[in-house]
Amino acid sequence: MFEIPKLKHTTSGNFFLMAGPCAIEGEEMALQIAERLVSLSDKLQVPLIFKGSYRKANRSRLDSFTGIGDEKALRILQKVGQEFDLPTVTDIHETEEAAMAAEFVDVLQIPAFLCRQTDLLVAAANTGKVVNVKKGQFLSGEAMRFAVDKIRQSGNDKVILTDRGNSFGYSDLVVDFRNLPEMQSNNVPVVMDVTHSLQQPNQSSGVTGGKPALIETIAKAAIAVGADGLFIETHPQPSIAKSDGANMLPLDQLEDLLTKLIRIRQAIR
């Protein structure tokens, strides 16, 4: 895999982990989660990238939480990275956000619904940062080669692809694990977004639902198939999280899950 700045424990043979809260809710919460994640990363030798959205642009309702302010949230992400010597990732939504966010984080993430937006992919590529593209819920893994091509042809070969399930009916998602090896055929690291793949979007209330009880199932299957990394949103109290609490993993359950997944990784290697 290409080098990700500040990524540690890369010689352990373990999968890497993108983890953190859905959205940056405040500095104290972000630092609390990061401290626990770093502790687990060091203990279990799992390479870690801290994840947090500085703004949530894709919300069902106008009154949904979207963020605490772009610059404020980005500076919190920057502080997390500096204080724990840790790479960070956040998602961007429009072309002008790429250069702005690149000043604060190490990895720029393209949301699934925007994975075909050429100008956005090119803007992210032009920053020189690692670009993590989430596979659209409406695409096959094979089709993601075009997103990879757009970034590489813009002069950036630091690409990660992430699966987050496929739309199934109007209010559910399913995971087709064929997508992982199909995306790996592009010679890029492939991540399984465990928590978002368990969303139940478009609920009548306007608040996305989820099936967090299946987090372990999806994560185990992804590692068994050979995923290079996992994306897991986690929070000390998902029930009061300001975004996507319905499908997040409680922070105190993460160590047990990672321990089981490491055993699977060792078995398949």
Q: Indicate the domain borders of the chain.
A: 16-268
In this predicted structure, the answer to whether residue 200 has a pLDDT above a threshold of 90 is no
Q: What is the pLDDT of residues 33-77, one digit of tens each?
A: 999 999 999 999 999 999 999 987 765 556 566 668 999 999 999
Q: What is the pLDDT of residues 112-139, one digit of tens each?
A: 999 999 999 999 999 999 999 999 999 9
pTM of the entire predicted model: 0.93
* Predicted local distance difference test score (pLDDT) of residue 243: 67
Instruction: Mark 19-57 as b/e (b = at least 16 C-beta within 10 Å).
Output: bbbbbbbeeebbeebbebbbebbeebebbbbbbbbbbbe
CB 247 within 8 A of CB 197: no
What are the contacts of 108-116 at 24+ separation with CB within 8 A? 108/132, 109/51, 109/133, 109/134, 109/162, 110/134, 110/147, 111/57, 111/58, 112/136, 112/137, 112/164, 112/196, 113/58, 113/137, 115/139, 115/144, 115/147, 116/146, 116/147
Q: What is the pLDDT of residues 144-187, one digit of tens each?
A: 999 999 999 999 999 999 999 999 988 789 999 999 999 999 99
Residue range 16-268 in CATH 3.20.20.70 = yes
* Predicted local distance difference test score (pLDDT) of residue 85: 97
* Predicted local distance difference test score (pLDDT) of residue 170: 83
- Return mean pLDDT, the chain: 92
Spell out the residues 6+ positions from residue 69 whose beta carbon is closer than 8 angstroms to its own: none
